[in-house]
A and B are shown apart, each in its own frame.
Chain A
């Protein structure tokens, strides 16, 4: 689908439940499988570890309770360096920090669903070693 072989699918990590719900709906509408949903960084790492098939792409928020998105991204990339992380945050000032932590790309909220989906597909197509 979308020219991408969705094996592990997309993980959604955001503490805003309504946003998570929207992402889920649009991705499912695009037939992109959801690997898991987490509402904080620590929850995301645990679910990432537990996943038998690691998600190909993670939609990662920055500001979350317990553990922020940067720390969670670093841990995930340590576990599986091939995972592509799309940082999507309302705080544009963390763009550089996110990219340094290994994010494939950065989207600033509010962003249109169309842009988000395009980025998800584009990132999924990137070779495993690619980071922008």
Chain B
């Protein structure tokens, strides 16, 4: 199971963040940016297309007008019409219709609107069509006329009629009319078709009526698109691109429109918004696809990073937790890499091997140390017992001189010191051991126990001043008794023929915690200043140390500190150590007391 605070997990997350966050930010920002760019490009393309259609339309109409102009400038036609030479007119009309591809029908009327000649619809000859604006308007104004889309009954096809007045000596003698082929016109327009699906290109006249449209039904029915907003814009001579509501074909559409100059027509390129902006959507989908692909790629890279870098680190970390335990660190390490991690694994392995060897050695030393202490504690004390008992028996011998009795007493005192030495060494061993099971102990019981166990020599008078007070509870091991007993024994031992030992216990506070402070005051020989400093530095003791006294106080202090307390020495009379000593033992009160 992967821990959330593990280096493995973090490396995967960070790698993913490093790889994906910039990509995502870049992607989102570029999407927003390019979305607008693409939209603008689409709109520009549509507008350019509309302009092109507009230009083509203008060109188409220009060509048609110019051609007819050229014919009406011909004196042969002018004379033939003014003189009613029908055969000549027919020849000229036939040539006019046949020599160009713009018009599918050409006819000529006289100044009364009477059709003089018609090609190819000869049955049109003789009809009077002065009511048709494309006849009456040129005759009236003397200017060319271009009609809107007209459904011709004669030809059966929609047509745009372009008419030019035929003038002689300033008077209109007739009109030359050409009918443009809308289907052909549509073909010309759609040569520039962009190929975009659902795109509609159409041209409307000044009234908004369809001239050409992708949908020929609109052409046949001369559908009027003037209700559309963009057609209104066109009528006002505007040019542009934008969204609009297409009430004819339904939905929101994008439309680009451009006026056909000089003719009051307009060209429109339009398509549904959903289709217009499909490239934008496609770009977003493509981006998401790329992002997903990059995410998978990043996850793969993160996995490789994790596997190649963090896994060995995690393994070394796991190995550190089992160093010194029964598990084999070699199971966690891979040494076959040549890089820093491989060297780290090998170094760690060497280090753990050295630790194992040192630990084994330490365990051996500990066993040996325990054995020595056991020997001291049991076998030497047994020997001490034998020596002491024999000396005591010897002391009973009659006729011993005082000097001989002193020698024997000296032996017994030495045995006492030897036993105390062993006791303190064992105490240090216990304190230094790992097992530290503490219990509630009463300082009052400890002090009384020490007082009762003191057996001063017959020639020494020891007076204790202690007012028992129960309930001085501390949390410690029973070995704490040695701290108090050692101090009391020292006071007895290092004093004159009579010693008074004053013991009192008070509450005190250190760092906000309550302590019991026991002050053991004697009027013994005291401790010189030169010795006090080094008394508790067992391994720095010099020859100045008081014989037999150092270890007792050393172990007493060590034990007190082990249970969170302290031990310090003061002169009974400040500045004069010869007046006796105060040993202060402070131990924390058991919690909840």
Please give the residue numbers on chain A whose beta carbons come within 8 Å of chain B beta carbons, in ascending order: 16, 18-19, 22-23, 25-26, 63, 90-93, 108-115
Q: Does B324 contact A (CB under 8 A)?
A: no
Q: Is the CB of A22 within 8 A of B390?
A: yes
Chain A residue at smallest Cβ distance from B416:
A110
Please determine whether B392 and A90 come into contact, CB atoms closer than 8 angstroms: no
Residue B159 interfacial (CB < 8 Å): no
Q: Which residues of B contact A90 (CB under 8 A)?
A: 377-382, 384-385
* Chain A residue contacts of B388, Cβ below 8 A: 110-113
Residues of A within 8 A of B415 (CB): 110
- Chain A interface helix/strand/loop/mixed: helix
Would B392 and A91 count as touching, CB distance under 8 A? no
Q: Of B386, B416, B455, which one neighbours A16 at CB under 8 angstroms?
A: B386
Known A-B contacts A63-B378, A90-B382, A115-B455; A22 and B426 likewise in contact (beta carbons under 8 Å): no
Chain B residues within an 8 Å CB radius of A111: 385, 388
Q: Which residues of B contact A26 (CB under 8 A)?
A: 389, 393
Closest approach, in angstroms, between the C-beta of B583 and any C-beta of chain A?
Answer: 23
Between A and B, 5 residue pairs with Cβ closer than 8 Å are A16-B385, A23-B389, A90-B382, A112-B412, A113-B388
Which residues does chain B contribute within 8 Å of A93, judged by CB atoms?
377, 426
When each residue 542-584 of chain B gets 1 if its CB lies under 8 Å from chain A and 0 otherwise, what string results?
Answer: 0000000000000000000000000000000000000000000
How far, in angstroms, from A90 to B419 measured CA to CA in the complex? 9
How far apart are the CA atoms of A108 and B419 in the complex, in Å?
10
Digit string of B385-399 for contact with A (CB within 8 Å is 1, else 0)? Answer: 111111011000000
Would you give the shortest CB distance from A117 to chain B, in whole angstroms?
10
Which residues of chain A have C-beta atoms less than 8 A from B378's C-beta? 63, 90-91
How many of B's residues come within 8 Å of A, CB to CB?
22
* Chain A residues within 8 Å of B384, by CB: 90, 109-110
A-side contacts of B385, CB under 8 Å? 16, 19, 90, 109-111
Are B386 and A19 neighbours in the complex by a CB distance under 8 Å? Answer: yes
How far does the alpha carbon of A92 sit from the alpha carbon of B419 in the complex, in Å? 11
Taken together as a complex, chains A and B put the C-alpha atoms of A112 and B416 apart, in Å, by: 10
Query: A109 near B382 (CB under 8 angstroms)?
Result: yes
Q: Which residues of A contact B380 (CB under 8 A)?
A: 90
Interface residues of B in 444-460 (CB under 8 A from A): 455
Does residue B423 face the partner (Cβ distance < 8 Å to A)?
yes
Centre residue among A16, A90, A108 by max chain B CB count within 10 A: A90
Q: How far is the CB of A48 from chain B (nearest CB, A)?
A: 23
Residue on B nearest A90 in the bound complex, by CB? B381
Taking A19-B386, A22-B393, A115-B455 as given, write out 16 further A-B residue pairs in contact, using a Cβ cutoff of 8 Å, ordered by the A residue number: A16-B385, A22-B390, A26-B393, A90-B379, A90-B381, A91-B378, A92-B423, A92-B426, A109-B384, A109-B385, A110-B384, A111-B388, A112-B455, A113-B389, A113-B392, A114-B392
Nearest A residue (CB) for B422: A90
Selected from A25, A92, A108, A110, the residue in CB contact (under 8 A) with B393 is: A25
Shortest C-beta distance, B199 to chain A (Å), equals: 104
* Residues on the B chain within 8 Å of A109, using CB: 381-382, 384-385, 419
Contact assessment for B382 and A16 in the assembled complex, using a CB-CB cutoff below 8 Å = yes
CB-defined contacts of B393 to chain A, threshold 8 Å = 22, 25-26, 113
Kindly state the separation between the CA atoms of A100 and B474 in the bound complex, as whole angstroms.
Answer: 24
A16 to B381, CA, bound (A): 12
Considering the chains assembled together, what is the distance between the CA atoms of A94 and B386 in angstroms? Answer: 20
The proximity string for B residues 403-427 relative to A, scoring 1 for CB distances below 8 Å and 0 otherwise, is 0000000001001100100010010
